[in-house]
Structure 1
Amino acid sequence: MKTDIESLLHQKLEALGALPGGRLLVAYSGGPDSTALLAASVALLSVSADFTLEAVYIDHCLRSQDERREERTIIQAATRRWNVPLHLLSVGEGEIVSQASASGSGVEAAARQYRYSCFENLISREKFDYCLLAHTLDDQVETILQRLFEGAALDSSLGIPERRGPFFRPFLSVKKSDLLDYLRERNFSFSTDSTNGENFYLRNRIRNEIIPVVASVFPAYRTAIESFLAKQRMADSALRALLPEIPFRKESPSSVSWDAEPFFSAPEEARRRFLYRIHAEIDSSQRRLPYPFVERIIRMDDRPEALIEAFDSRISRRGDRIFWDGVVVLRGKNRYIRRIQDGSLVNLPNIGKVRLSFSGLTPPVIIRSRMKGDVISTTGGQKRLKKLFQEWALPEGLRNMIPVLEDSRGIAAVLGSPFGFPDRYAVGGKKYCSIKMEYVGESREQTAR
């Protein structure tokens, strides 16, 4: 039976509490799923003007300029026709690939992290109540199959959540074919991502190679997966009621801490589930938390100063508390990379806890240590950071400690002031951005000891 898309959306938004008076943002890629979501939202708005609606499009710069230009044309035409304000965001050419290389993650994961960072910044800045995402039942099935073959833990086998923080997915029970029918019946155009047909990315291989085989053997596979998820969630709910809760404190958007004693005294399964929950708190991009990493934390030494550095994170024991900092630890002493937002509290090696305030930077905004080949734009052209540090007569031992601030345009500033050296902005940087570093924790000298 075909789904009534607009009625379903209305029911979901009412159940969410987004009506009346909600301020909603639709993640709009121009593809069929997000086009159907935006179209249904507009239709709902036309008969019940009790919420506000805007859209956001993110250009990851991973496809040809011609294809992206055509996609933007479709998107801008649709939002003009529907009178929906549009936020156009774009990453610099090659930035996603560079981030993937720097963090050791794949391009898919880097693009997803960038995308969710943009969403979070926009939601915070513009005060949206919810961001609507167009994931479908087909996406849910692909996710479950991927996690199954990757040996996911129980929490991960629960699939894509309908809601996580400000993100809401009203179409998780809807087949993609129903959305395509909805668009065809109304003669709405949409863009087609050329990379969807390529099998370079794992998700595409699952969709193009595995799903057709599954469908040929189990024609009702979607219904079976939905039934599996329902049973998993019932089991999860029962287990959750039996296991003790471990309280935690959010230190920053990408950092949490909790007491060591209740953590180590809890059953192992309670600790596992707690860590998956913590991961969801500090990483909205839905990256899968590797099971071996979870097991390392569960079995980490119950002693002061215990430390684990892996999976873009630093887990450390400091006195009676354990801290999880969303830091990518690079090879070499004092190396790191962290995604930040305006006002983020960050712990920097040999500097301490600081609050970073900035304006005029385009996400994703990263604070990190130097990398091989780093350059900053100057009035005389591009200058290597290696050369800049030589001009400062900066000791080799300090060079990995100097914070580098980077946005989608490249390196915005090199912050030498924590170590008594000048702050160097990219050419024109002081005209378009301001940066303030406020010390709120341990001093550099205390941290160094």
Structure 2
Amino acid sequence: MLEEFKYHIDYQLPFLRNGKLLIAISGGVDSVVLAHLCHRLDFDFALAHCNFNLRGEESNADEAFVLELAEHLDVEVFIQNFDTQSYANANKRSIQMAARELRYNWFAELAVQLQFDFVLTAHHADDNLETFLINFTRGTGLNGLTGIPILNDNIARPLLSFSNANIIAYARDNDITWREDSSNASRKYLRNKLRHEVVPILKTINPQLLDSFQNTLENLNDKADIVEESLNAVAKRAIIDIDNTGVSYKVSEFKKVNNAKAYLFGMFSDFGFTQWQDIVDLLDAESGKQVLSHSHRLVKHRETLILTDLPVEAPKTVSILSTDTVVEIPTGFLHLSKVDTITTDTKSVIYLDMTTLRFPLAVRVWQEGDTFQPIGMKGKKKVSKYLKDEKLARPVKEQTLVLTSNNTVVWVLGRRADDRFKVTDQTQQILKIALTS
């Protein structure tokens, strides 16, 4: 296996030879063999072990074993203890998901702080098959069936082409000891059920299952490349704007393709959406209609779909004192100065009659019921009606701020001032307010 591993590294992951590596090690046979193989090839690496404190003394024994292994290999080792159960409860995660998040977050921190080039995990061919089956049983798109990537950002998986049987055989042939995780025998988790009950039956049906599976993955990845190329072409035509409110897509480009649902799925599945028929229906929906995922939303606005993050809590009201000259607000800064004449005429600058203002002024998100008298008009108008008449997209409207004096709207920031506060021939003190990003 050592020669096969060396060839695999040279062919697939040659950059690991000159990198500073961090090996994620549990004490199990897979990660221990990975550490020994990297040691045999004289790689520059350290070990990182997570003690999730889920198996009492067994977890502590794993930690002790890893410390001994690091001493034996003469490499540096990092140990982190986690209160995994508390994290899972606080963040409403399963134990497995909590452990995964804690593990990878810590690896990322170590990589940044200590300048490791790559983090190596010991995922192997059987793990890949199990992941495929998990995704298959839960329902997934093509991306969920293309397997674990050998390289994902700075996470590398050098054992992905080797089977668990290969790894155990190498350990036994070279008198390598390892720790057995008792939880791996439990049928409590879906992965273990598949590992102990389903995969053995499949291997009985086809003794060359892993080889056949690898061929399937290669075919699926080839198809995925074609799909990705087609999606990129549609995205290039469909995306018309990217700004701080989100990404805007032309509805017409999705209507041109033969299977709009498939393209919408390919474009937006990474953002947590599941209600695909509702998303298809957005193409012909009224402006303002939206579909939500746990983290994002798609909003129909005229002839576009706008992808945004889910709205967060409205920012707190910002107070402005008469002595302030620069005030930070959620969208940038307001610069206040007393001037003698009006010199600038843009939507980002207003001039106000100081005597009409009552300090402190306030900047806040507009609210239902807010009214103002748009400059140049005699009657009042609801801010909501003004924003609608401006044909602003829903995400833009939701983030629109107003400047108020004694809770009366003075300025819809960056858009329209109120006529009642404008400078006139009788004005003696002029306040200039400029909005900058």
Same fold judged by TM-score > 0.5? Answer: yes
**1:271 is the counterpart of 2:254:** no
Aligned to 2:34: 37
Distance 1:206 1:246 in 2: 37
Identity of aligned residues (%): 21
Please tell me the residue identity of whatever aligns with 1:62. L
The CA deviation at 1:5 is: 3.5
Contact map agreement 2:290 2:300 (CA 8 A) in 1: no
The CA deviation at 1:71 is: 0.3
Aligned to 2:53: 61
Aligned to 2:384: none
Distance 2:183 2:31 in 1: 17
Count of residues in Structure 1 that have an aligned counterpart in Structure 2:
319
Distance 1:228 1:118 in 2: 34
Please tell me the residue identity of whatever aligns with 2:58. E
Alpha carbons of structure 1 residues 130 and 318: separation in structure 2 relative to 1, 3 Å: farther
Structure label with greater radius of gyration = 2
Superposition map of 1:357-376 within 5 A: none
Residues 142-151 or 178-187, more deviating: 142-151
Secondary structure at 2:41 match in 1: helix
Contact map agreement 2:150 2:156 (CA 8 A) in 1: yes
Secondary structure at 2:364 match in 1: helix
Aligned to 1:445: 364
Distance 1:142 1:202 in 2: 9
Distance 1:310 1:30 in 2: 38
Secondary structure at 2:166 match in 1: helix
Contact map agreement 1:27 1:131 (CA 8 A) in 2: yes
Q: Deviations over 1:14-73 (max 9, x none)?
A: 64342453121111111111111111111111xxxxx53122111222222x00111011
Q: Unpaired runs of 5+ in structure 2?
A: 320-327, 334-362, 366-398, 402-437
Question: What's the RMSD between the two structures over aligned residues?
Answer: 3.5
Distance 1:97 1:272 in 2: 30
Distance 2:70 2:79 in 1: 11
Aligned to 2:217: 229
Secondary structure at 1:170 match in 2: coil
Distance 1:305 1:246 in 2: 22
Q: Deviations over 1:150-176 (max 9, x none)?
A: 232112111111111111112111010
Secondary structure at 2:15 match in 1: coil
**1:28 is the counterpart of 2:25:** yes
Q: Deviations over 1:189-225 (max 9, x none)?
A: 1111111001111111111111122222222222221
The CA deviation at 1:306 is: 5.2
Please tell me the residue identity of whatever aligns with 1:115. R
- The counterpart of 2:208, out of the listed 220, 223, 244, is 220
The CA deviation at 1:87 is: 1.7
The CA deviation at 1:316 is: 5.2
TM-score normalised by length of structure 1: 0.62
Secondary structure at 2:158 match in 1: coil
The CA deviation at 1:264 is: 5.0
Contact map agreement 2:296 2:308 (CA 8 A) in 1: yes
Alpha carbons of structure 1 residues 96 and 62: separation in structure 2 relative to 1, 3 Å: farther
**1:95 is the counterpart of 2:86:** yes
Please tell me the residue identity of whatever aligns with 2:364. E
Secondary structure at 1:182 match in 2: helix
Distance 2:329 2:31 in 1: 43
Q: Deviations over 1:294-343 (max 9, x none)?
A: 665565577766554444x2335498784454x8xxxxxxxxxxxxxxxx
Please tell me the residue identity of whatever aligns with 2:66. I
Distance 1:237 1:93 in 2: 38
Secondary structure at 1:199 match in 2: coil
**1:258 is the counterpart of 2:255:** no
Aligned to 1:206: 194
Alpha carbons of structure 1 residues 299 and 142: separation in structure 2 relative to 1, 3 Å: farther
**1:150 is the counterpart of 2:138:** yes
Superposition map of 1:33-432 within 5 A: 33-45=30-42, 52-64=44-56, 66-92=57-83, 94-99=85-90, 102-103=91-92, 105-243=93-231, 244=233, 246=235, 257-261=246-250, 264=254, 267-276=260-269, 278=270, 292-293=274-275, 300=282, 307-311=290-294, 313-315=295-297, 317=299, 322-323=306-307, 325=309, 348-351=312-315
Alpha carbons of structure 1 residues 154 and 71: separation in structure 2 relative to 1, 3 Å: same
Q: Unpaired runs of 5+ in structure 1?
A: 46-50, 280-288, 328-346, 353-417, 421-437
Please tell me the residue identity of whatever aligns with 2:28. G
Distance 2:308 2:47 in 1: 33
Contact map agreement 1:23 1:53 (CA 8 A) in 2: yes
Contact map agreement 1:307 1:315 (CA 8 A) in 2: yes
